[in-house]
Each structure stands twice: as structure tokens, then as C-alpha cells.
Structure 1
Amino acid sequence: MSLRVILSVEALEPRLSGIGRYSWELAQRIGAAPEVDAVRFYRNGDWIEDPSRLLIPDGIPRRHKVHRWLRNRTKGLRRWRDGLIARGHLFHGPNYFLPEIGEGGLITVHDLSVFRYPETHPAERLRYFEREFAASLARAAHIVTDSATTRDEVIDFLSIAPDRVTAIPLAASPAFMPRAAAETLPALARYGLSPQGYALCVSTVEPRKRIPHLLQAWAALPPSVRNRWPLMVTGGAGWLSDDVQALMAQGAREGWVRYLGFVPEEDLPLLYAGAALFVYPSVYEGFGLPPVEAMASGVPVVVANASCLPEVTGGAAMLVEPEDVPAFALRLEQALVDTDWRNMARNAGLVVAAGYGWDRCARETVALYGRVAGA
């Protein structure tokens, strides 16, 4: 069967989120599959010729007032035109939603945090979900999730027939790999760091990520441990993050934590590879890409014993209960000083991470396109 596919790319932007990374990896690969005759790219009502331009500053199309006025005046005509273009194509919305022209396509539901943890989302996003998500579910012939845990949750929470939901795991980029200390030195020096001299958490700073519990546990470590391995936190400042920022500012004054904010994409693999430990205390994820990136980098990993993280880390990570701060602190100390565990975790993590791959993700996604189109 030959396939013609439309991939929605509204998540592509210069600073890629996890969903943006997923969209970009699919955009690069699905057109190369022998089953796919053609791929078109769609973004919020526009047809995109070259999605790579969306990754550079000022590459995202901007609409001037006159342009917006013309778009509003010609909305019906554009809908008719887009429907003609989309005819004979299978539409994939990798970011939860399907437009009207995507009827009978697929959506990827990465998690249900907007329902489980609405307080962690801006009001505008909640309103958009209220308006559009149910309609997208009704249009979709099939739903993709990032993990079996999320698949089960989608089936149960949204009352979806199991044969309409397929789990296809994500992956770490090949840039995430073990590296010799000398290779990491130039990048780490820009942040005043040295190889194996810090621990790392890569996460959006928002309530469900449990960064406050991590900071409290780090503060409870013996001074000799927390001062030898200060905690580096990198990622965007999310919704309701002011209290977390205040905690980090206090820890920074005491010298055992630093908030690095967004790190350039070319530096991030080196920051992972130089870390003595990676910690991810989030209590709710659809996949949890950062722990996989850390395992692929040869770094021991600690994750919350919650949602899909035990599944995704495949027995290679130390599991903790972030809300039990004293126990969390004891486990963190063990993860930093127990050489036997660290060696085991490093080797097991490399094996687990190697089982994932973006080529595998694209291959399984294209196979699913074929099944949906055939049905």
C-alpha cells in the first residue's frame, strides 16, 4: 500500500519541547519510508514547504494585520481548498489535535496531564482543550501514545476501545552518548562545571515535576555530599513556578543548587554526559524522555516510582517516592556514593536506552499509518 501523509508541525519552534522533538524526528523520517509516497506539512492553517525553517529564529510565519484580515475574510474558501489538498492523505496530529481536514487520521496523546493536573497548565491551554480536544477525538480513527502506561490510561479515562490505541515509544537522539571527560570539558567550563562534579535534573519547573521535593531532599543531604555534587536544574520555567524559583534561589545562595534555565541544544548532551547522577522526580509523565537521554549518556538515573517511569526505565533506574523527603534524601545519597549500584545502573541504563530509537519510532508509526489507511 502506498501512503500519502500530512504531518502537523505546530510544535516545531527554535526551542524544541518534548513534543516538538517528537514532531521533528517524525518529520525527518516518515518521508523516507518505502510505503510513503509523499508527505506534506501543515501548521495552524498554513502549508509548510520546509519544516526545518521553523527551528530557526524568525523562521515561523508571522501574520500582519492585513494578512489576518484576509485570512478571516477567506476562511471558508481556504477550508474548501485545504480539504481538496488533504483528500487522499492520512493526517497525523502529533500534538493532541486534528483539524477538520484531518477527519479519519491519527492523533498522538502524550499524556492526560491537562485533566489530571489542570493546575499545571495555563488557563488559555485549558480553554483550548475544552474547545478542541473532544472534536479531535471524534475525528480520529486512531490514537498513538508514548508508553503502554499512557495507553492504558487513555483507554480507561477516555473510554476508548483498546483496538483504537497503540503505544509507540520515543527515543533519545544519537547525540546522547557516553563521552570521555576531555570531550565534555569545553562545554562544562562555560557553566563553571567539571566532569562528575554535579548532579543534573532536566525538567520544566512546574508542580507535577516535584522539583520542590527534590530541593528539600538535596538540602537534607550531608553537607559533604551536597557540596561535592551540587544540583544543576535546567529547563523552562513553567506554570506556577515562582515558589520553586524562590527555593532554588535560597539553595543557590548556600551553594548547593543552580538553575541554568534553557541550555542550548548543542550543550545539552555534554551536560548530561558529564553528570555524576540524573534525577527526575516527576510524578506524572507520558514517557519521560530526559531519563532515557540520561541512560543513553551512561549516567546513573533516579526517578519517581510513578506513572510510566518504571516502565520506560526498564529496571535500570532507582525508584523513589518524592513526597517522602527523608527517604528520598537517603536514596539520593546512596545513588551518589554507592559505587556498585552506580556501575550496575550505568550498564543497565545503556542497554535499556539502546532498545529505543527514533528510526524504530518512525518505522512503527508508518506501519500504523498503513493499518489505519487499510481499515
Structure 2
Amino acid sequence: MPFSTPSQGQATIRVLFDCHTFDAGPQGTTTFLAAIINALPDAIQRTGSDPVEIYCAAHDRSAIERFLTVPFIYVPMRGGFLARNAIALPRAIKATCADVVVSQYVRPFFARARTISVIHDVLFLDYPGLFSWKYRFVRRLLFGWAARHSDLVATVSDYSRERIAHHFQVDASSITVIPNAVGEVGELSHKALEPLGRPLKLLYVSRLERRKRQDWCIRATHVLAQVGMHVELTLVGSRSGSYAAEIEAQAAAPSPAGATVRLISGISDEQLHDLYRDTDIFLFPSECEGFGIPIIEAAALGVPCVVADNTALSDLRHSYIGAAFQSDSFQDFVRAIRTVVADLPAQRIQARARAPEVRHAYRWVTVAEQMLPLFQGRIAS
């Protein structure tokens, strides 16, 4: 059913979302897509836009139901990447009479509808050494084709917009920035800072991946302990692959006196938000990012941050209290942490004062409002 009843002069827009990432489980692209869909009813009501009928294509209906809290029409979709884009999605567009199809990264190869491609980043082109040649070759070909042949292209940051335009030779002004946001994070932390001498609590939230540099966080924890600080580091994120195994081994190895490292995965949003609230400093030393949702989550909960000054992370500098550091220098990372520690009470006060502003700036309903003009074939302002 549509999210609102059409008034005179309004026509329901049928929007088909490629939700295959829902089948794979939680990840950044899933969060982005689900949050926008869930925010659409409020966005339509706030703006008076044309009503929208949502169609969601995926292998498993229950996978969609795990993420969506609003009405939708399920469209079964089978097959891997090629079958999905060459056969399943074109058939779904025809069967649903969709006006618009929204895809992430790659649009259907054939589409009797307006095509909106959300290309979150092209980090594999800016940092080729982090990705295999096969990964780069296939994605350069397909992402570039989507960027040049979609009716509208969106991305999540100014940085990504500039890099997509550069690599695929498209006009940057034709790419709409639809940023990530934060969901309901509950109350701000009001716990009093304890006296010096207690363990300093550090937190990093991101899947275990080499470019994320969880190893830097462990090394920094050891360095701080060796100069007499008591430090507890918590790393939260999904784990798979050789780098995750390396981090697990480092976390299990004996640490200097005063240093504690723990790994956590598979927790609920509520548990994660509790970790943020109990944290003194949030760390994000990633080598490159297309956005950086955990940073604004931490900022929205009043936590000072130490963040690498690179890629899209530089775009977020105005959002958080704390320190940015030269992204290729581990020593600068440690210095930035110590700088924030030295002024921690004031940093926490400032971070808590900034939090309401961050919550207001990064709301999913606002993001959904920016998506609505795209459904009508217009570039969002």
C-alpha cells in the first residue's frame, strides 16, 4: 500500500528497491537502505510529496522483515549478481510496473524505469593496493557503467562525489549527496568522569579489515600502558579473513601491565549504544572511508573522538569534538589520543554540548526527504 493517500493532482510513485544486501545481513549498505525506507512515511508527510508505494526485491522475505518496520510489497528475486541485474530485476520492474528502481553501486542492465544508482564510494580506485586486481577490474567496469548510464546517481559524501566524478568522467554537479545518518540512540551519557587513575576506556567500532587499522588501536593501548596509564580497549565489529585472525591473536597475546584488549561482535544496537556511553574516547584510525557512521554515532552520544584526517573522514571534522591526526602516522595517532586525555573533562563537556546538534544534522528522515526528489527524476538540492 502507498504511504499516504493521493490527493488531487498527486500520483502514487512505484519504487522498486534492490534489497539483495538484506539477504547478506547487517552491513553499511544495508543500514543505509533500510533506514531510508523506514523514514519515508515521515518524510512524505513532512514534505507533502507524492505518495510512494514500496517494492522490495530479495531472495528471502524474512530478510527484509528483519530490517523494515514500514509496509512494503515483497518481490521474490533469485540468482547472483549477473542473474539479478540481467534477468531478475528487469522482470521485477516489468511485473510491478515500477516507475523507479533504486540500486546500490550497479543498476539493472535493462530497465523500463528511471534508474537511481547509489555508489557509496570508489575507494578501490583511490587505494588500489588495498584491493585485488580482479576486484578493481570488475568494479571499475560496472560502477563506471552505472555512473554514466543511470538516470540519477547518488553518493554519501562530498569526498565520494568528487572521486566518482573524477574516475568516471561525469559531472560532479549531477551527483546528489545523500549522507548517512544515525538512528535513535537514546539518552546522552551523564555519568560523571571518575578520578584519574581509573582505566581509560577506548572504543573502536568497525568490521575487522586491514584498512580499518584495529592493530593501531592495540599498539596505541600498549604504548599508553607502557607510560603508566591504565587502558581498556574494546574493538567491536564482524570478523572474517586473515586480518581478523591477526587481530584475534594480538588481542589474546600478553599485554603490558595496565592494558586490556577485548573483541566483541554480534551485539544489539542497544548494547552498542551502552558501550558508547561508557567510553571515554572513540577511536577511528581508518586509512580510508566513504563516510564513517560510527563517528557520528559517537558524536551523537557525546563521546570525544580521535579520527584520521583523510578521505570522507575529513568531511566530518565539524561534527565531533576531539582530535584529527595525520592519517599515515601512528605516532601522531598516539599523540592525538594523549592530547584528548590531557583535557578529557573539558572534551567530554564540549562533546555532550555538541551532541544535540549532531543528532539534528544527521537524521534519517532528513536523508529520506533528500531522496524524494530523485523519485520524481529531479536532482535533490
Q: How would you bin the TM-score normalised by the shorter chain? A: 0.7 to 0.9
The change in CA–CA distance for 1:270 and 1:49 in structure 2 (over 3 A counts) is: closer
Cα deviation for residue 337 of structure 1 reads 3.5
Q: Map residues 144-223 of structure 1 onto 2, 5 A cutoff.
A: 144-175=154-185, 177-181=187-191, 198-223=201-226
Tell me the residue number matched to 1:347: 353
Cα deviation for residue 258 of structure 1 reads 1.3
Query: Structure 1 vs Structure 2: percent identity of aligned residues?
Result: 20
Any stretches of 5+ residues in structure 2 without a counterpart? 1-9, 69-73, 193-197
Contact 1:278–1:299 (Cα < 8 Å) also in 2: yes
Tell me the residue number matched to 2:55: 40
Q: Deviations over 1:152-180 (max 9, x none)?
A: 12111221112320112211111254145
Cα deviation for residue 233 of structure 1 reads 0.4
Q: Map residues 26-37 of structure 1 onto 2, 5 A cutoff.
A: 26-30=36-40, 33=44, 34-37=49-52
Q: Secondary structure at the match of 2:54?
A: strand
Cα deviation for residue 122 of structure 1 reads 7.3
Counterpart Cα distance in 2 of 1:39 and 1:31: 11
1:274 alignment partner, one of 274, 278, 297:
278
The change in CA–CA distance for 1:334 and 1:134 in structure 2 (over 3 A counts) is: closer
User: TM-score normalised to the size of structure 1?
Assistant: 0.79
Contact 2:212–2:286 (Cα < 8 Å) also in 1: yes
Are residue 290 (structure 1) and residue 305 (structure 2) matched? Answer: no
Q: Secondary structure at the match of 1:267?
A: helix
Counterpart Cα distance in 2 of 1:170 and 1:198: 27
Contact 1:41–1:49 (Cα < 8 Å) also in 2: no
Cα deviation for residue 342 of structure 1 reads 3.4
Q: Deviations over 1:76-97 (max 9, x none)?
A: 6x6774342254511111x212
Contact 1:300–1:345 (Cα < 8 Å) also in 2: yes
- Compute the RMSD of aligned alpha carbons: 3.5
Q: Secondary structure at the match of 2:264?
A: strand
Are residue 51 (structure 1) and residue 56 (structure 2) matched? Answer: no
Cα deviation for residue 359 of structure 1 reads 0.3
The change in CA–CA distance for 1:13 and 1:321 in structure 2 (over 3 A counts) is: farther
Contact 2:309–2:324 (Cα < 8 Å) also in 1: yes
Contact 2:296–2:319 (Cα < 8 Å) also in 1: no
Q: Deviations over 1:189-217 (max 9, x none)?
A: xxxxxx98521100112121122223222
Counterpart Cα distance in 1 of 2:50 and 2:62: 21
Cα deviation for residue 222 of structure 1 reads 4.4
Q: Secondary structure at the match of 2:21?
A: coil
Q: Map residues 4-23 of structure 1 onto 2, 5 A cutoff.
A: 4-13=14-23, 15-23=25-33
Counterpart Cα distance in 2 of 1:333 and 1:79: 52
Q: Secondary structure at the match of 1:220?
A: helix
Tell me the residue number matched to 1:363: 369
Q: Secondary structure at the match of 2:57?
A: strand
Counterpart Cα distance in 1 of 2:199 and 2:355: 17
Are residue 324 (structure 1) and residue 324 (structure 2) matched? Answer: no
Contact 1:110–1:145 (Cα < 8 Å) also in 2: yes
Judge which range, 156-165 or 252-261, deviates more.
252-261
Contact 2:22–2:63 (Cα < 8 Å) also in 1: no
Counterpart Cα distance in 2 of 1:280 and 1:169: 19
Counterpart Cα distance in 2 of 1:253 and 1:237: 25
Contact 2:159–2:312 (Cα < 8 Å) also in 1: yes
Q: Deviations over 1:94-120 (max 9, x none)?
A: x21211344641111111123234554
Counterpart Cα distance in 2 of 1:198 and 1:49: 38
Counterpart Cα distance in 1 of 2:153 and 2:90: 26
Tell me the residue number matched to 1:303: 307
Q: Secondary structure at the match of 2:14?
A: strand
User: TM-score normalised to the size of structure 2?
Assistant: 0.78
